[in-house]
Structure 1
């Protein structure tokens, strides 16, 4: 009996020694050689180095692209300012700019009326179709004038002609003083010669038939820039109208002389 107990105890001890802890595998895994640490470090370093190279190449490429695509360049203070086409045109226009000296003057003129609108002045001008005249805007009013008394024009001849057309002094007309200021007239190379010739037509001593022919010839060569000028067109109308005798021809030439002065006065 005692011997059977010893055997039983021995068997139980053997079973306890051979039986594994059910948690041993989970809590205490088998150890492995730690060779992964060196491999992981080399992989990380290699990846980082490759990433740096790729980033540097990409960054340099973007800088080159942006520099090529952007046409604007910086300009240092030592660099001369580039001249554009507009600047060249402006320089050429300034170099071609000329000036004509207009002497002006003070003349007695025959005033046929003063109107608040240009339409009223033109309407009255048309009603006096036998009397050459010109509409002059000044200070928000419109004057209808005829005949500047040039030194060669006899005032009495003009007055007799106006009376023959039922226009009497202080009733149909007023004799008034009109001043043309001396000024420098701006010009260009294209019309400088034309304006200079026109100015010489104001510096004559006699408004005779030869002077009228020279004026008519001069008007025939007006530059395109003066095509729509009011006084150029008024002068053309005066040179094409038929004169009523010698006194009518003198009145017409005196009105041409007046209009020529108005032309130069109106040019900036």
Structure 2
């Protein structure tokens, strides 16, 4: 037996055999990494085989033609191995397709942006359509464009109230707006209900005001408590509304 036994393998080899989970698509937010898809890893694996396949190659200089070929091979193999690591994603998509689940077609992402302006006269500022704004992500910067003209005002949200059944109910405000989700037109929306928005600023918004709302799903209503029957016997002899006695059972009315 000339090879190393399994308990003598180093941690890197065991990790490579066992695999590891990296961020990726899917319900768990991760995927297995089948291979280490980096050019440095490919070059290191090739260099580790030099002694066994070409022992007479002993010149590690970067000017050597063999070293240049190894570096080129690592650069070309990196995107191929990256596609190999996407095989679990492909398998997941095929399983979902078997169940009749299809991916949605690609579309432009949408985001709600907040512009802060401070003009000297307090007037509204025009943000023209196709105005670009960038956001940083782990994959790089994502550039967004506004799809229509909007006017940003230096006014701030001072009051917020819901009018329902002829009465006004003020909503608590925090530094970023309402401190909790709320029903904008009351629990039972009907004609006559309204949402009152109070702004504070040196000048009125002009010529129009653009508002943005974040809509969240209403929580499900609480389940009604299970009906219980009054029972005069001992609690340990009562089960699901039926009273058990020494001579039989009866249901209370």
TM tier relative to shorter chain: under 0.3
Q: Rg larger in 1 or in 2?
A: 1
**Greater RCO (Cα-Cα under 8 Å, separation 6 or more):** 1
Greater fraction of residues in strand: 2
TM-score by length of 2: 0.16
